Amino acid sequence: LYQSGVFKTYKKIADGPLRAVFEVSYNYLVDGKEINEVKRITLDAGKNLNKIDVTFNTKANNSKIEFAAGLVKREATTKYSDENKHWLSLWGATTKNSADEFLGTGIIFPKSTFKTFTEDENHYLVIGVTKFNDAFTYYSGAGWTRSGDFKSVDDWNNYLTQCSQEINSPLRVSIKANNSK
């Protein structure tokens, strides 16, 4: 597992108030291949999930690459996942102070890139597959009970399921010419 490290460059694309978009890029070596990773992160006001578009660029070839996105393991949290809907979630106390209530964090992968779930010592991971030089998208975010949007773990996990369905079956609109006179 290779981590991107600290970003090399950044670029502000849009700065709100309804949407903020920025790009960060990373340069590193994997098995002797120079990799340039570009992430475009979109944050929409009122949304709990951020859209993350990623491209792994390399001159070496256009072979497949496995990648991971993860959630940090925290004390007093429980992991949930849905392999059919391609989401991973953690739910638990925000802090040791019960007045801070509960926090859910989650990741959704589109079915086109999802491979499996796994974990290492510090993270729960979603593994995906894509090709070098091809862009892919995943979603990551959080929901807090004190926000009023989520009262329970079921609310949070149902939200992830609903978002996954919308991501994997987007609304399609077609327009046809009316040739009748």
Total count of domains within the chain? 1
- CA 168 to chain CA centroid, Å, is 14
Does any domain span residue 173? no
Backbone angles phi, psi at 164, to 5 degrees: -60, -40
Q: Which DSSP helix (H) or strand (E) runs through 166?
A: helix 153-168
Q: How far apart are CA 147 and CA 156, in angstroms?
A: 12
> Which of 43 and 3 is assigned the larger pLDDT?
43
Over the chain, what is the mean pLDDT? Answer: 93
Token pair listed for 166: 């919308």
* Per-residue pLDDT band at 62 (split at 50, 70, 90): low
pLDDT tens-digit series, residues 132-171: 999 999 999 999 999 999 999 999 999 999 999 999 988 8
Cα angle 85, 88, 91; round to 5: 130
Dihedral, CA atoms, 90, 167, 161, 133, nearest 10 degrees? -30
Does any domain span residue 55? yes
Q: How far apart are CA 49 and CA 167, in angstroms?
A: 12
What is the pLDDT, as a whole number, of residue 138? 98
Residue 40's domain comprises 9-168
Helix (H, G, I), strand (E, B) or coil at 87: strand
Residue 104 pLDDT > 90: yes
Does any domain span residue 118? yes
Token pair listed for 121: 């010592």
What is the pLDDT, as a whole number, of residue 51? 98
Does any domain span residue 135? yes
Dihedral (CA of 78, 92, 116, 85) sign: positive
Does any domain span residue 3? no
Token pair listed for 48: 């709990």
Q: How far apart are CA 36 and CA 59, in angstroms?
A: 10
Does any domain span residue 2? no
Does any domain span residue 181? no
Residue 37 pLDDT > 70: yes
Token pair listed for 88: 């991973």
**Burial track 99-127 (b if 16+ CB lie within 10 A, e otherwise):** eeebbbbbbbbbeebbeebeeeeeebbbb
Residue 38 pLDDT > 70: yes
| CA distances from residue 155 to 67, 143, 158 in whole angstroms, order as listed | 29, 10, 5
**What is the value of pTM for the model shown?**
0.90
